[in-house]
Amino acid sequence: MTDAIAGAAIAATAATWPATPLGAHPDKPGDRAAFGFTIGTRIPGRHGRTGVIHTPHGDIATPAFVPVATQATMKGVLPEQMRDLGAQCLLANAFHLFERPGEDVLDEAGGLGRFMNWGGPTYTDSGGFQVLSLGAGFKKTLAMDVQGMKSDDVIAKGKERLAFVDEDGVTFKSPLNGAKKRFSAEISMGIQHKIGADIMFAFDELTTLMNTRQYQEKSVERTFRWAKRCVAEHERLTQTRLGKPYQALFGVVQGANYEDLRHLAAREIASLDFDGFGIGGAIEKRILGDTCRWICDELPENKPRHVLGIAAIDDIFAAVENGGDTFDCVAPAREARNGAIYTRTGRWNIKRAALKHDFRPLDPTCDCYTCTHYTRAYLNHLVHTREMTASTLATIHNERFFVKLLGDIRDAIDGGYFPEFRDETLARFYGGSDRVAPGTHANSGAADSQ
C-alpha cells in the first residue's frame, strides 16, 4: 500500500465528489455491503497488517493516520489542503458538533462531509472522552503516573466536576453555557447518525488510570451494556434513515491497564454485531503495545481496529505492530500552533532564536507544501509576529509528517522490512541533537479538541 496508491485513491474520491455515496438509494436504508475491510500483508508473528477499509465515500489504505477536524474543520487548514498533503480521512468530534452548530444543522446540510466540503471518508467519536474530561477535569492527559494514586472520586486539582455517570448515561454541564445536558447510548447514536460520518463509535465510559480496580470492573460491564444498546439503536436508526449511506459502528474496548479486563472487554465487545473496533481508554505507555496485543488476541481479524488518541512516534510503531489499523490524535495540529515541528530527526520548536537566520526547509527530506516553499527563518518570523499563517504552514507540515509516516509503515510491512524500518526510524527520531525524548505515558483517550 504505497503513499502513491493512497494519493490516487484520494484523487479519485475528490474527482467523484459530490456523487451519490456507495450504498445510498432513495427510499431505502443504507446498504451495509458498502462498508468492509480487506487484509493485505501481515507482520509475521504479530497482529499488525496492511489493509483497505472500504466506506461509502472511498477507501482508506491502512495503517493510516486520521487527522482530527474537531469542529468539522482543521484549524487554519482547508480540506483541499488536507487532500493535497495525502490525508485519506478526517475525524470530527460529536460532542463539540452537538454543542454547536447542532447535529440537525449537519443533517440538513447533507452530513459532515458535505458540510465541510470533504469528499473522503469521515469518522466521529462518541463524546465519551469529553464526558470524562468534564467529570475528572484532566482534559488532554488521561494516561498518567498513577503510582500510589487510586481513587473513585478522581478530579483534577482546581477543577469542578461537571459530569456524573449513572447506569443509563451521563448528566453534565455544558462547557459553553452551563446548561444541564444528557448523553446516553441512544442519544449518542442519534447525534452521530445525524452528523453522518462513515464511521462512528459506540458510547462508552472512559475511566482514568487512577480509578480503582473495582471501579474499572464495573465500568467495563457498564460499557458492554451501553454497547448492546448502541447496536440496537444503530440498527433501528439505519432502517429509518432512508436514502442515507450506511454508517459503520465501532465498539470501544476499555479495561485500563489490566490484562484480564482488556481480554474480557474485547471478548464482550467482539460478541456484538459491530463493523469494527476502537481501542480506547487511558493506557500506560510502558504497556501500550501489550495492551493492543491483549485486545487483538480476542478480536476478529476481518474487521478494522482504530486506536484512539495516540501520536507519539514510538507508540504508533508499537500499536501498528500489535494490530492497530488507524490512529487519530490532535497533537500534530495543536503542537504546530505552539511552534513544535516534527521531522525525521526529532521534534523541535521553530521559536528558537538560532533559527532566525536558518534558510533551510523545516525538513529537507519532506515533500509538503511548507517545506517546498518556505524556510525555517520565515516560520520563525511568523511565529514571533503571531501571524495566523504560521499555524497554517506548521500544521500542513506536521500533518504531512504523520500521514507520510503511516504511508512509509505500510510500504515497510508490504515490503517485508518493517522491523528494520521501525528501528531505523525510532533511532533517528529519538537520537538526534534536536530530539524530544518519548514521554513516560501515552495519551490514549478518544480524540479531544484540537
Write the pLDDT tens digit of every residue in 213-230. Answer: 999 999 999 999 999 999
Annotated binding site for substrate: 125-129, 204, 254, 281
Annotated binding site: 125-129, 204, 254, 281, 366, 368, 371, 397
8 or 61: whose pLDDT is higher? 61
Q: Is the pLDDT of residue 14 over 60?
A: no
**Residue 318: CB partners within 8 Å, gap ≥ 6?**
288, 289, 292
Q: Is the pLDDT of residue 440 over 60?
A: no
pLDDT of residue 127: 78
| Domains contained in the chain, CATH given | 3-336 (3.20.20.105), 340-431 (no CATH)
Kindly state the cell numbers that stand for 419.
522491523
Average pLDDT over every residue of 180-209: 94
Q: Is the pLDDT of residue 15 over 90?
A: no
Q: Is the pLDDT of residue 145 over 70?
A: no
Average pLDDT over every residue of 188-198: 98
Residues with a catalytic annotation lie at 125, 328
**H helical segments located in 41-195:** 79-84, 94-99, 103-109, 112-116, 128-136, 185-195
Write the pLDDT tens digit of every residue in 241-294. Answer: 999 999 999 999 999 999 999 999 999 999 999 999 999 988 999 999 999 999
Calculate the average pLDDT of the chain.
89
pLDDT of residue 173: 84
3-state secondary structure at position 28: coil
Average pLDDT over every residue of 59-70: 98
Residue whose grid cell is 494514586: 149
